[in-house]
Chains A and B, each alone.
Chain A
């Protein structure tokens, strides 16, 4: 079983310290393409969580049978086969869900964060830990995607959750929130450059928070030395 400390290390790594979206900067291809609104961002994020947990479990399960020299082709093989199986199975047995996530799943195969976690973590750790690591990395990426998607959607069209009726059915059409009424729209935010600029701001913001925390810690250490209680 997994201990509480191990879990919080994994969570801290996936969500903050090693966040795939703003620290490792892996998986940017789908991140930049899909983050033009919240619904798309969340859909891709959830699909990524799912695929990463499953691929980390599979890779970790066979880690003792894979010679070091051929680990990359074997991992790619596993991930590609797994994603294809998930894609086919969702399409056949969970069609409504497939209509929402379907176009995103093949995109995930090209996402290098999946292979990166397979090689860096799952190939060396217990299946349970690896699955959690995959899922938490996916959640970290989802958080970045949703924040970026929300910011771009507000800046670009002045709404939130537009297109939710395409994901959850026509009944949810009035869930769409108009944040800025009579907004004329800001095209740059929706087009690809908006994704780069938005991601840049997010990375800067995260670094700023980290550095401020570091400075505070140093200051606290210094005062503690200067005035021994």
Chain B
């Protein structure tokens, strides 16, 4: 055989062997780790959800009660998000909504909003944001308790003006020099509460299929 061809063949066989070994090792590791990883990811998710919806309020398998929500301007979502329906003794107890505050200083701020069956907020958490570190990041619970001021709040159409930061005449704190971020979140939470009131019946109805 032609020596050039022989060399090319030899190199490609070696490269192929390395790829094969690499793939086999990865497949093996994945096989033996993915169920453990899946479990801890679920536990983390549940821990986060439990921050916005206290555990004692519900008794169902919350992670199993997930369903998709179509994009909606009130939720700030441009594509489908999701929600978890909490029930207690078979009765609807509340929901956890995935919402977005689209007017953040540096783009979307992802939120997890817990609302009980009466429309009262049980908790709000920021799950993802790109706000300025050290300035706009006080919306994270790990940096400051700012986000806790939503606990126990609810929305009434005649008190719409309260749903603003104090600087704009509302009742929510903000820090000097970083008002755009809290303004965006206050608005997003308000809109999500409106969304809940508008779709309360549908949201709280247990659904067999995963279709909203």
> Which residues of A are at the interface with B, using a C-beta cutoff of 8 A?
36, 62, 65-67, 69-70, 73-74, 77-78, 80-81, 84-85, 88-89, 91-93, 95, 156-157, 166, 185, 187, 190-191
> Which residues of B are at the interface with A, using a C-beta cutoff of 8 A?
10-11, 14-15, 18-19, 22, 25-26, 29-30, 32-34, 36-37, 40, 132-135, 142
CB <8 Å contact, B36 and A92: yes
Nearest CB in chain A: distance from B39 CB, A: 9
Residue of B nearest to A66 (CB): B14
- A-B contacts counted at CB < 8 A amount to 61
The 14 sampled A-B contact pairs (Cβ below 8 Å) are A66-B14, A66-B18, A67-B10, A67-B11, A67-B14, A70-B11, A77-B18, A77-B22, A78-B18, A78-B22, A84-B26, A88-B30, A89-B29, A185-B135
Q: Which residues of B contact A65 (CB under 8 A)?
A: 14
Nearest CB in chain B: distance from A162 CB, A: 9
Nearest CB in chain B: distance from A173 CB, A: 10
Nearest CB in chain A: distance from B23 CB, A: 8
CB <8 Å contact, A73 and B29: no
Q: Which residues of B contact A187 (CB under 8 A)?
A: 132, 134-135
Nearest CB in chain A: distance from B117 CB, A: 33
Q: Which residues of A contact B32 (CB under 8 A)?
A: 92
A70-B11, A77-B19 known; A93 vs B29 contact (CB < 8 Å): no
CB <8 Å contact, B37 and A73: no
CB <8 Å contact, A70 and B14: yes
Q: Which residues of A contact B34 (CB under 8 A)?
A: 88
Q: Which residues of B contact A93 (CB under 8 A)?
A: 33, 36
Tell which of B25, B29, B32 has the most Cβ of chain A within 10 Å. B29
Q: Name A190's contact: one of B15, B19, B133 (CB within 8 Å).
A: B133
A66-B14, A70-B15, A74-B15 known; A92 vs B134 contact (CB < 8 Å): no
User: In whole angstroms, how far apart are the Cα atoms of A95 and B42 in the complex?
Assistant: 13
Nearest CB in chain A: distance from B89 CB, A: 34
Q: Which residues of A contact B10 (CB under 8 A)?
A: 67
User: In whole angstroms, how far apart are the Cα atoms of A84 and B29 in the complex?
Assistant: 9
Q: Which residues of A contact B18 (CB under 8 A)?
A: 62, 66, 74, 77-78
Q: Which residues of B contact A69 (CB under 8 A)?
A: 11
User: In whole angstroms, how far apart are the Cα atoms of A70 and B14 in the complex?
Assistant: 9
Nearest CB in chain B: distance from A40 CB, A: 11
User: In whole angstroms, how far apart are the Cα atoms of A85 and B32 in the complex?
Assistant: 11
Given contacts A69-B11, A157-B134, A185-B135, 11 further A-B contacts (CB under 8 A): A36-B133, A66-B14, A81-B25, A81-B26, A88-B34, A88-B37, A92-B32, A93-B33, A166-B142, A187-B132, A190-B133
